[in-house]
Chain A
Amino acid sequence: MHIDCTINGNERMFEVSKSDLLLDVLRRNGYTGAKRGCDTGACGMCTVQIDGEPTMSCVTPVAKADGATVETIEGLGTQDDLHPVQQAFVDNSALQCGFCIPGMIMRSKALLEENPDPTEAEVREALSDNLCRCTGYKKIVEAVLDASDRLAEQAVAADGGRAATDRCCDCHCAGDRPTGADRRGETDR
């Protein structure tokens, strides 16, 4: 059988067998950004977005992608022009071996699309389907809160409002919204 889908903005057609899982089809076709961590949907390494929803591709039948919009890590920024979420992970030293990071970034992007201004507790909850063995999660959580600030600034700038360049300094004190650092105090731990 074949399926049609839009991957990272490009229309693609794949020959697949009915029993194929999305992760296998993606990886066979060169989208190796999504990683194989468990094959049971338990670790989040293979997270992609299908029609905007974060999805564990290792347990998703490829048929689910038929006619759908699929976003993988390859569709975000490039090495020379990182997406704000990617840039926030880099700037916060939030990655070590990096194997969990494509899934972690896709999950974080989905979270911030749904909840642009999460608390630390909400970030931790959202990331609980995505495991990381290297970082202890602290810098990842900080990166997601930082990404939230960056995306908000970008939105303000795009809105014709106060541009990012008008900020008083390089800290994240633009506007009245609480910064990631402020919100870290709001944890419900």
Chain B
Amino acid sequence: MSDPDEPKPDGGTASQPEGESPELEDHPLEWDEPENNDLAPDERASVSRPAQKDDDPKLVTGQAKYTADYETQFPDLARAAVVRSEILHGYVTDIDASAAEEMDGVHAVLTPWSEGTPDAKYTSAGQSYPEPSPWDMTVLNEHVRYVGDPIAAVAAEDAETARAAAESIEVEYEEAEYVLDPEAAHSEDAPRLFEEDEVENEIVGHDYSRNRMAHIEGEIGDVEDAVAREDVHVHETEWETIRQSHAQIEPHTTLAYTDEDDRHVLVTSTQVPNHTRRQLAHLFDVPIRDVRVSKPRVGGGFGGKQAMVVEPIPLALSIAADRPVLYEATREEEFHAMRSRHPMTVRARTAVTEDGSIEAIDLYALSNTGAYGSHGMTVAGNVGSKPMPLYSKVPNARFEADIVHTNTPQTGAMRGYGAPQGTLALEGHLDEVARDLDLDPVEFRQRHYMEVGDLDEIAGMMGGEGAERRIRSCGLDECIERGKDAIGWDDVEQPDEDHLHRGIGMALSAQGTGVAGDELGAAQLMMNEDGSFHLHVGGVDIGTGADTAFIQIAAEVLGCDEEDIVIKSSDTDVTPFDYGAYASSTTYISGMAVKKAAEDAKERILYWGSKLLEEPESNLDTGDGTVYSEETGASVSLEEIGYEAAYGHDEREHILGKGTHCTEESPPPFAAQFADVTVDEETGEFEVTELVVAVDCGVAINPGMAEGQVEGANHMSYEMAVSEGITFDDEGRSEVRGFDDYDWPTAAETPTIESILVETHEPTGPFGAKSVAEVPTNTVPPALSNAIREAVGVRITEMPITAEKINAALEDDG
């Protein structure tokens, strides 16, 4: 990892060579925080108040527009359907599309050999540039590597015709050997998915002769030396995670057309409008300025839309058909041809002294990236770099990962981004070690975990110098205390029936907030003459309520009502640049850009207030829709200022503010998870009665929204623990074709989830905020495994946790 141009495993690009230890002065504890950033709860007018979500009235009345809802606005709209590989691995030798081309109502048919099909290599990963993912795919593929790989596409007057035309296309293949198991794939005898010349932008540690797209490793101290010591016990455990589907409720949907200026316009359900614009310009060989990507309401993303999954197909079809084209992925396509969480095997090893001092932690992950490498290396990097820093006091630490191709569906970014896999392994492992040594699992953790002031070197272990960080806010102690109280940790009553046993398990988690050194958000604010504002922000609201958080941040600075701010977010023609909604960055990065834009505008507002009040600006502040003087109590409304600035006699100005934010910081939010389970020792059946998760997210900009994020994330985490995810039949074909086959817990099957927000203050974040929505995605699998261990003494290491596995373990035990 010493090449400064190499992408680094947490998603950024290393800017300095490694090798030197971090200089403490590079990471000072003191932070030059502006006074207005650290408001006490009673000083906050908008921030951390339960503001109604800006788009709620539209959402509850069905007026909100998602991509597909624009269909009625385009009378000549064509619909797209895609022909996908029916074989696991091989080459397309012939395509007979004549029947489709002759069908009434068919406007365009594209194959890999059509003139209008882009043939450049790219990655679907929506990441910064240069992408830390290999360019290993084309829009329509001759060399197919999984059941679901796109081969041809059709645009027709309606969806039924498009589907019928797609079904009439006959594809001939030359089949090749395939491999499904990542361990088998990672051998020199395995069928190869890629020849060297089929990949551009290759990633560190790649070895396509054994299907490895990347190998990464990092170490601080000397793990082998610690493990070899005579005074330590070495513990080793191995963990397996599921192939989880994002199952975002709105399928991947894109509407594409070319406008009167020959510019390509995409209305699309995406988390990354700016990255998508750049990638489309590359694929279609047009200037970036000639692509417009606009994001309407988005029906959930969870990382599944941090990728350019479908956009090129409707755009190519719309150019070929010379009319707007709408592509809505079917639910079946969502499960077998879009993206999923990387399934992994993670080995955890520690060296621990008799009295419970952890001398070394060592994690190794074998990640199954599926047929293509999008997000493969960066997700695997986070298996180590997110959970391991929790134990920043451990002197020796190592992480290593192999990321391997198999002929299975594509994986990608998903909420937690590798941290769930690593957290299961680490928190399950440490719990087991504590039990081995007869130590209290909570105290055992507390002896080693992060505190304010710690220099976290583990975070930078694989990213080159610069990714280390100073911990400036940490609420772990309070998370644990409040979580324990809420779940009744100290008073666990056993059921009356002898065969039922109750246990409470716990797990900790840390995440990041944005990608250190590799983020950018920007915003601009325009003041209207009536004192209201238009806020334009590149930050992307995919349903989290980010737009509302932006409004609250701006309103806090401007001292106005939230209703006086109209927001427009995520339209590349209109809104400033932003990396997109991922890595828990939105409130922290884009929100700080909004704060800066509002402060920039506020400066001009105070200038005009000073003119009107005839007092020095230093006496003035904004609040309650006015500029007021703290000295004299005089005030002038924002509306008066707006009119004076726009229509004044001697001087005029359109009051505008702009803000751009990027940072080397990525402060971790923390979570403490508790799970209460009752297990029947005769059958292995278990019932989770309650999940409690306490999260330190700094200051919650909107507590109601933050709780919702925590509860939704914890539900997704619970699903990782107890449901099977996407499974395959003996021939490697996805068995999940719809929601009925994908058994995530319904409302009736979901335990009570209690979310607790623990407020700390992160000085680098807007008004003290750090991230909230990923960290609770990591914690239920280990907490539940730990709870079952507590209840009936058996350890389940392979997800999902099922009655059959518990029963089998009990029988082995007995």
Q: Which A residues fall within an 8 A CB radius of B?
A: 27-28, 30-40, 42-43, 45, 72-74, 76-80, 82, 86, 89-91, 93-102, 105, 121, 123-125, 127-128, 130-141, 187, 189
- Which residues of chain A have C-beta atoms less than 8 A from B297's C-beta? 97-99
The number of A-B residue pairs with CB atoms under 8 Å apart is: 194
Q: Does B442 lie at the interface of the complex (its beta carbon under 8 Å from any beta carbon of A)?
A: no
A35 x B61 contact (CB < 8 A) = no
When chains A and B are docked, how far (Å) is the Cα of A100 from the Cα of B740?
17
Also in contact, A189 and B60, with CB within 8 A (given A93-B705, A136-B715, A138-B753): no
A135 x B330 contact (CB < 8 A) = no
What per-residue 1/0 map shows which CB atoms of B744-756 lie under 8 Å from chain A? 1011111111010
Also in contact, A39 and B250, with CB within 8 A (given A86-B61, A135-B712): no
What per-residue 1/0 map shows which CB atoms of B45-66 lie under 8 Å from chain A? 0000010110111111111111
- Least CB distance, A150 to chain B, in whole angstroms: 14
B302 x A32 contact (CB < 8 A) = no
B753 x A189 contact (CB < 8 A) = no
B543 x A96 contact (CB < 8 A) = yes
CB-based nearest A residue for B56: A90
- Least CB distance, B671 to chain A, in whole angstroms: 14
When chains A and B are docked, how far (Å) is the Cα of A124 from the Cα of B747?
5
Q: Can you pick out 6 interface pairs between chain A and chain B where the beta carbons lie within 8 Å of each other?
A: A31-B62, A32-B69, A86-B61, A96-B708, A97-B299, A137-B711
CB-based nearest A residue for B63: A79
B249 x A187 contact (CB < 8 A) = no
- Least CB distance, B687 to chain A, in whole angstroms: 8
- Least CB distance, B565 to chain A, in whole angstroms: 17
A95 x B60 contact (CB < 8 A) = yes
When chains A and B are docked, how far (Å) is the Cα of A177 from the Cα of B678?
33
When chains A and B are docked, how far (Å) is the Cα of A131 from the Cα of B247?
10
Q: Does B298 lie at the interface of the complex (its beta carbon under 8 Å from any beta carbon of A)?
A: yes
Q: Other than A36-B328, A127-B748, give 15 A-B pairs with Cβ distance below 8 A.
A: A27-B68, A33-B62, A35-B68, A35-B299, A89-B56, A93-B705, A96-B708, A98-B297, A99-B299, A125-B747, A127-B747, A131-B746, A133-B247, A135-B712, A139-B704
- Least CB distance, B164 to chain A, in whole angstroms: 12
Which of the residues B57, B247, B542, B755 comes within 8 Å of A90, measured between beta carbons?
B57
B57 x A82 contact (CB < 8 A) = yes
A97 x B739 contact (CB < 8 A) = no
Interface residues of B in 520-575 (CB under 8 A from A): 542-545
A86 x B53 contact (CB < 8 A) = no
When chains A and B are docked, how far (Å) is the Cα of A140 from the Cα of B302?
19
B751 x A189 contact (CB < 8 A) = yes
A131 x B249 contact (CB < 8 A) = yes
Q: Which 8 A-B pairs have the closest CB atoms?
A: A33-B62, A97-B543, A99-B299, A98-B59, A93-B704, A136-B715, A73-B62, A136-B711
What per-residue 1/0 map shows which CB atoms of B84-125 lie under 8 Å from chain A? 000000000000000000000000000000000000000000
When chains A and B are docked, how far (Å) is the Cα of A74 from the Cα of B69?
14
When chains A and B are docked, how far (Å) is the Cα of A95 from the Cα of B55?
10
A135 x B738 contact (CB < 8 A) = no
Interface residues of B in 702-735 (CB under 8 A from A): 704-705, 707-709, 711-716
- Which residues of chain A have C-beta atoms less than 8 A from B716's C-beta? 133, 136
